[in-house]
């Protein structure tokens, strides 16, 4: 499939509530968002963009009970901001090395390749940046970030994120990644993208070939975000297959979302379906404290119960790490129920997934 096909599809996405209303009937709360967003134009509101293919995954008759709809159609609840929330919940802005490069950990950094996404997800934690029409990083901005990384050899991995980097053309992507690889040929590149879900036509044979050739210089990994089994339709599976056939390692980061996927049977199916599509479930993220997203956040208490039950049901390959990115730049911490109960000499008492307490005798130190 050629570049024109996906670019046409990207340009043809729904881009405002007026257009959306011509395709589906909106609820009162959704219309109220539209009215409020118009009044508050220019504020921190996350804009609307819905690819028509993603829209077709919505069961219109279910209204706000539909898990796909909740992820893309805004409601007035987004204007309900809690004091604990922030438009920059991970305090990324305080970790900038250059205007597009963020370094919160010693060994990893994030490059904001573009603010554009194929779709704006209502739970997005980077809503201060996504969709602000700044466009892709300029050659100078990329060079500045690459030079900074040249002086930071302890950074081992670079996450190319945004926005969604795969909304950029192959030529731009090639130029950007090559710039980093020229300066740091030893650095692993990770690309964070929702495109296999939102615009699978973007995963062309040419893109797969490009990523394959770039990863011959230094490994390129792809991090996807599938949140519901219905997103893994034939088109998405075909896109994933194309990438894995090109030798690109695929990992998935699911966001735990209220009313979308806060159900153990559904999460079990999603993780097993991902493994079947050759994608390793990597993280199950507790929702970040992003402004106006409390209606989509699952309580931690529910998350702990889901994690424990998933751990009982899933293989190690299919089990993601349930984690939260702490506010104020505290970084990721895994959210797990403690399995070690106590220690007596060189004996450790553990609680198994089935609730049995069993001793493990350690070697003498």
**Catalytic residue from among 104, 237, 312, 313:** 104
- Binding of ligand SF4 at residue 297 (CB under 6 A)? no
Spatial separation of the C-alpha atoms in residues 160 and 237, rounded to whole Å: 23
199 binds ligand SF4 (CB under 6 A): no
Nearer to ligand SF4, 163 or 181 (CB): 163
53 catalytic, yes or no?
no
Token pair recorded at residue 122: 């209502």
Site residues for ligand SF4, 67-86, by CB under 6 A, read none
Active-site choice (66, 121, 202, 283):
121
Write out the two tokens for 67.
């898990």
Q: In whole angstroms, give the CA distance from residue 176 to residue 160.
A: 10
Q: Tell whether residue 196 is a contact of ligand SF4 (CB under 6 A).
A: no
| Pairing status of strand 347-351 against strand 157-162 | unpaired
Contact status, residue 37 vs residue 232, Cβ threshold 8 Å? no
Task: Single out the catalytic residue among 23, 29, 47, 108.
Answer: 108
Measured distance CA(130)–CA(290) in Å, rounded: 13
Stretch of 7-15, 103-111, 124-132, 315-323 contacting ligand SF4, by CB under 6 A: 124-132
Smallest distance from the beta carbon of 32 to ligand SF4, in angstroms?
21
Which residues, including other chains, have CB under 8 Å from residue 179's CB and lie 6 or more apart? 139, 142, 143, 146
Question: Least distance from C-beta 36 to ligand SF4, angstroms?
Answer: 19
Q: How far is the CB of 72 from ligand SF4 (least distance, A)?
A: 9
Residue number with CB closer to ligand SF4 (162 or 303): 162
Spatial separation of the C-alpha atoms in residues 73 and 33, rounded to whole Å: 9
Tell me, yes or no, if 332 is annotated catalytic.
Answer: yes
Task: Figure out which of the listed residues 20, 70, 90, 121 binds ligand SF4, where binding follows CB under 6 A.
Answer: 121
ω into 163 cis (within 30 of 0): yes
**Smallest distance, ligand SF4 to C-beta of residue 199, A:** 10
Scanning 16-24, 103-111, 117-125, 325-333 for contacts with ligand SF4 by CB under 6 A, the matching segment is 117-125
* Contact residue for ligand SF4 among 17, 124, 236, 256 (CB under 6 A): 124
Among 6, 54, 120, 285, binds ligand SF4 (CB under 6 A): 120
Count of positions on this chain that bind ligand SF4 (CB under 6 A): 10
Dihedral (Cα; 310, 313, 316, 320), 10-degree rounding: -20
The candidate with the shortest Cα–Cα distance to 280, out of 314, 305, 308, 246, is 314
User: Nearest distance from residue 114's CB to ligand SF4, in Å?
Assistant: 10
* Smallest distance, ligand SF4 to C-beta of residue 193, A: 7
Region class of 62: left (phi > 0), else alpha (psi between -120 and 50), else beta: alpha
Nearer to ligand SF4, 118 or 184 (CB): 118
Confirm if 101 and 143 have CB atoms less than 8 A apart. no
Nearer to ligand SF4, 14 or 184 (CB): 14
- For every residue of 175-199, DSSP letters joined together read HHHHHHHHH-TT-EEEEE--HHHH-
| 24 annotated active-site | no
Question: Collapsing DSSP states into helix, strand and coil, what is residue 365?
Answer: coil
3-state secondary structure at position 285? strand
| Minimum distance of ligand SF4 from residue 304's CB (angstroms) | 24
Would you say 164 or 268 has its CB closer to ligand SF4?
164
100 is a contact residue toward ligand SF4 (CB under 6 A): no
Map the footprint of ligand SF4 across residues 154-173, applying CB under 6 A.
162-164
- Give residues with Cβ within 8 angstroms of 39, minimum separation 6: none
Distance of CA 163 to the CA centre of its chain: 10
Name the one residue in this structure whose structure tokens are 């994120």. 161
Q: Where along the sequence are the contacts to ligand SF4 (CB under 6 A)?
A: 117, 120-121, 124, 126, 130, 162-164, 194
Q: Which residues are catalytic?
A: 104-105, 108, 117, 121, 124, 126, 288, 325, 332
């Amino acid at each position: 499939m050629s570049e024109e096909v996906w670019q046409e599809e990207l340009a043809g996405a729904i881009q405002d509530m007026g257009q959306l209303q011509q395709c589906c009937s909106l609820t009162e709360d959704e219309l109220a968002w539209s009215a409020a967003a118009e009044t508050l134009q220019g504020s921190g509101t996350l804009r609307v963009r819905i690819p028509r293919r993603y829209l077709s995954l919505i069961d219109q008759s279910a209204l706000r009970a539909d898990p796909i709809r909740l992820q893309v159609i805004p409601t007035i609840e987004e204007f309900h901001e809690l004091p604990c929330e922030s438009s920059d919940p991970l305090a990324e802005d305080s970790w900038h090395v250059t205007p597009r490069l963020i370094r919160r950990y010693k060994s990893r950094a994030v490059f904001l390749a573009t603010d554009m996404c194929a779709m704006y997800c209502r739970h997005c934690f980077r809503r201060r940046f996504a969709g602000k029409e700044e466009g892709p990083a300029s050659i100078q901005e990329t060079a500045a970030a690459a030079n900074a990384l040249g002086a930071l050899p302890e950074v081992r991995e670079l996450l190319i994120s945004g926005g969604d980097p795969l909304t950029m053309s192959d030529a731009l992507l090639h130029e950007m990644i090559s710039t980093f690889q020229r300066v740091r040929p030893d650095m692993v590149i990770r690309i964070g993208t929702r495109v296999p879900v939102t615009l699978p036509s973007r995963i062309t044979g040419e893109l797969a070939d490009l990523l394959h050739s770039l990863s011959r210089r230094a490994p390129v990994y792809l991090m996807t975000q599938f949140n519901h089994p219905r997103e893994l339709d034939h088109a998405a599976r075909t896109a994933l297959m194309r990438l894995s056939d090109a030798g690109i390692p695929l990992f998935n980061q699911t966001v735990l979302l209220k009313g979308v996927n806060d159900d153990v049977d559904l999460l079990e199916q999603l993780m097993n379906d991902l493994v079947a599509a050759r994608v390793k479930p990597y993280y199950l993220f507790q929702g970040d404290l992003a402004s106006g997203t409390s209606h989509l956040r699952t309580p931690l208490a529910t998350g702990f119960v889901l994690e424990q039950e998933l751990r009982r049901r899933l293989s190690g390959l299919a089990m993601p790490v349930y984690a939260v990115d702490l506010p104020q730049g505290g970084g990721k911490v895994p959210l797990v129920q403690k399995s070690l109960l106590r220690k007596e000499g060189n004996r450790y008492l553990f609680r198994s997934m089935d609730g049995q307490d069993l001793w493990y005798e350690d070697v003498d130190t």
